[in-house]
Amino acid sequence: MAATARKFEMEPQMHERTVLDAKVDHIQSDVAGLKSDVKRIDAKVDAVGASLTEHRIETERSFAKVRDEMAKQRDEIKASIATLRNDMTEAIGALRVEMKDSFAALRVETKDSLAALRRDRLAQIAWLVGTAITAIGAAFTAAKFFSTH
C-alpha cells in the first residue's frame, strides 16, 4: 500500500510582531528610560551631597572664625575690665587719701575757728565787763556828785 505522502506545511515566519512583543519592547523602553532618569537623579543627589558637604565644611570654618574672634574679644574685654578695675582701685585709694587729708585739714580749721571764736567771745565778755564796770563807776560817781550837792 502506498503511503500517502503527508504534506507538511511550514508556517511562514511572521514578520509582524505580536501584541505581546510590542508590550515587552515598550516595557523595555520604559525601563531603559527609568534607568537613565535614575542615573540623572543619582547624579543630582551626588551633586547635592557634595554641595552640602562643602557647605558644612565652609560653615564649620566660619563658625571657627567667629569662635576665635569671640575668644579674642572676650580676652580683650577681660583685660579692659581688669585695667578698669585697677584704675578704679587706684582712683578710690587716691580719693580716700585726699578725703582723709581734707577731713584732717577741716578738723584743724574747725578747731582753730572754735578757738578764735572762744577768744573773741572772751574778748566780748571782757569788753562787756569793762563797759559794765565803767558804767557802774560812772553811775557811782554821778550818784556821789549828786548826793554831795
pLDDT for 83-114, tens place per residue? 999 999 999 999 999 999 999 999 999 999 88
In the block, which residue shows the cell 512583543?
Answer: 21
Q: Which residues of the chain have pLDDT under 70?
A: 1-17, 149
**Angle value at C-alpha 138, between 134 and 143, nearest 5 degrees:** 150
Angstrom distance (rounded) from CA 25 to CA 111: 124
Angstrom distance (rounded) from CA 118 to CA 35: 119
- Evaluate if pTM is beyond 0.85: no
